[in-house]
Amino acid sequence: MPNMNPKKMDMPLQDPNVRNKNFDEVALGYTLEQAMEEADRCLQCKHKPCMNGCPVAVDIPGFIGKVKDGDMEAAYKIIKETSSLPAVCGRVCPQESQCEEKCVRGIKHESVGIGRLERFVADYHIANGSTDVVIPTSNGHKVAIVGAGPAGLTCAGDIANKGYDVTIFEALHKAGGVLVYGIPEFRLPKAIVQKEIDGLKAIGVKVETNMVIGKVLEIDELFEMGYESIFIGSGAGLPNFMNLEGENLKGVFSANEYLTRFNLMKAYETGVDTPIFKAKRAAIIGGGNVAMDAARCAKRVGCEEVYIVYRRGMDELPARREEVEHAEEEGIIFKTLTNPVRILGDENGNCIGMECVEMELGEADDSGRRRPVIKEGSNFVMDIDCMIMSIGTSPNPLILSTTDGLDANKWGCLIADEDGKTSREGVYAGGDAVTGAATVILAMGAGKDAAKAMDEYIQSK
């Protein structure tokens, strides 16, 4: 008889008033006993509806069944058949709108904690599992991967396992993409991502950092160097701005820049003297995961009042519900149905405030969400010394502008079919570079599909 507890096993967390002053991971993970008890809530449904919600179709009842039996290594092997980065996805996947949304236990009560169990299995493997490395036999073919984010890393791992000689070219000095430069340590410890990169290096994948493709080398030069196929997983790292008066004032940042200072320049580590803007009152504009991350970082370095300023309501916030709850617990103040119209500065060019308008929700727009409209005459000023723009990102146009024959849409996203094939022969693409800012699991899935298609392309030449 399964465990019919209507609620999923709580995730142990750091106390909000302690964690909002440190960068250690917020969620502490299940113990073995907690994981087995939660696994026992799974009904092992014959039609596996939860799998339909997972973009890479992890065999969810299969792996949870093994957790129930206490065979964590078998559970890990099942997840790894379809997911390359389980320790990452178990932490950051929007499970509530994917696998867990389709779980039958969620119809009347709380769904099974699929993400929490996936994280447990992956962490258990890191701590106790086999470290044996099977080096694939070389097939004599060379491929190049541009970008070391989840799309590029997954593509590299899958195609290297087929015997290819793989080199990843990464623009930054560290591999990992948004997993290391965007998502903060308190949500995704860097050591977890580094383990995955070390695993790739162990099977022979080469990682060349500080290699901006389109500047240091162009796509055509990579072909001339003997790479037979190229995967572009360069993400969507170019921040959008609102083009407001005052955006050049001191104290106004993009969330990307702000988070990169914390992550890649190590402002999260005690004893590291990274220049980071010490704000007293900060407003983060936007309501997605990126905005929550920036707000929670600002709080952790002592900002007294941190606001999330969002033009729709609480119900429309695009961030994961769990991240919103964690942010609220940590003291982040939500100012919804509010939009900035002008940033105010002093005579020295410092940000000293922000003129805003109140909004109300009108008719639904093309996305199905109710469109925010300005309440006439509602202008007011918020007294802030820091403003962080987190209203989305676009792909950087560098590769597109230096490569002939690559098609893109009006937002600058590369056009690729479902296998990642672009308009240029031998060039494949996937992840945020194709979809625009999306999720880790979708980028990973795209990298997997492209690895398969690149193999078929090279073998059919």
Residues near ligand SF4, by CB under 6 A: 42-45, 48-50, 54, 56, 58, 60-61, 83, 89-90, 93, 95, 98-99, 103-105, 112, 114-115, 118, 441
**SS3 per-residue string spanning the chain:** CCCCCCCCCCCCECCHHHHCCCCCCCECCCCHHHHHHHHCCCCCCCCCHHHHCCCCCCCHHHHHHHHHHCCHHHHHHHHHCCCCCHHHHHHHCCHHHCCHHHCCHHHHCCCCCHHHHHHHHHHHHHHHCCCCCCCCCCCCCEEEEECCCHHHHHHHHHHHCCCCEEEEECCCCCCCCHHHHCCCCCCCCHHHHHHHHHHHHHCCCEEECCCCECCCECHHHHHHCCCCEEEECCCCCEECCCCCCCCCCECEEEHHHHHHHHHCCCCCCCCCCCCCCCCCEEEEECCCHHHHHHHHHHHHCCCCEEEEECCCCHHHCCCCHHHHHHHHHCCCEEECCEEEEEEEECCCCEEEEEEEEEEEEEEECCCCCEEEEECCCCCEEECCCEEEECCCEECCCHHHHHCCCCCECCCCCECCCCCCECCCCCEEECCHHHHCCCCHHHHHHHHHHHHHHHHHHHHCC
Would you say 57 or 352 has its CB closer to ligand SF4? 57
Choose one: 246-254, 396-404, 411-419, 452-460; the region binding ligand FAD (CB under 6 A): 396-404
Nearest approach, Cβ of 337 to ligand SF4 (angstroms)?
31
| Chain-centroid distance, C-alpha 287 | 15
**C-beta of residue 122 within 8 angstroms of C-beta of residue 219:** no
Contact between 235 and ligand FAD per CB under 6 A: yes
CB of 288 to ligand FAD, least distance (A): 8
290 is an interface residue for ligand FAD by CB under 6 A: yes
Binder of residue 443, out of ligand SF4, ligand FAD, none (CB less than 5 to 8 A by kind): ligand FAD
The one of ligand SF4, ligand FAD, none whose footprint includes residue 217, by CB under 5 to 8 A per kind, is none
Minimum gap (Å) between residue 121 Cβ and ligand FAD: 18
Write the interaction track for ligand FAD spanning residues 244-263; mark x where CB under 6 A is met and - where it is not: ---------------x----
* 36 contacts ligand FAD (rule: CB under 6 A): no
Q: Which is nearer to ligand FAD, 117 or 172 (CB)?
A: 172
**Contact 416/428 with Cβ under 8 angstroms?**
yes
237 binds ligand FAD (CB under 6 A): yes
Instruction: Find the part of the chain contacting ligand FAD (CB under 6 A) among 69-77, 176-184, 345-353, 369-377.
Output: 176-184
- Shortest CB 153 distance to ligand FAD, Å: 7
Burial of 322 per CB tally in 10 Å (0-12, 13-18, 19+): middle
Q: With CB under 6 A as the rule, give the number of residues binding ligand FAD.
A: 42
Q: Is 293 in the site for ligand FAD (CB under 6 A)?
A: yes
Is residue 92 near ligand FAD by the rule CB under 6 A? yes
Question: Closest approach of Cβ 375 to ligand SF4, in Å?
Answer: 39
Instruction: Determine the interface stretch with ligand FAD among 52-60, 177-185, 328-336, 369-377 (rule: CB under 6 A).
Output: 177-185
172 binds ligand FAD (CB under 6 A): yes
Least distance in angstroms from the C-beta of 158 to ligand SF4: 15
User: Is residue 98 near ligand FAD by the rule CB under 6 A?
Assistant: no
Q: How far is the CB of 237 from ligand FAD (least distance, A)?
A: 5
Using CB distances below 5 to 8 A depending on partner kind, what does residue 449 bind out of ligand FAD, ligand SF4, none? none
Out of ligand SF4, ligand FAD, none, what residue 439 binds, judged by CB under 5 to 8 A for its kind, is: ligand FAD
Residues binding ligand FAD (CB under 6 A): 92-94, 146-152, 169-172, 177-178, 182-183, 211-214, 233-235, 237, 259, 289-290, 293, 396, 398-399, 431-433, 437-441, 443
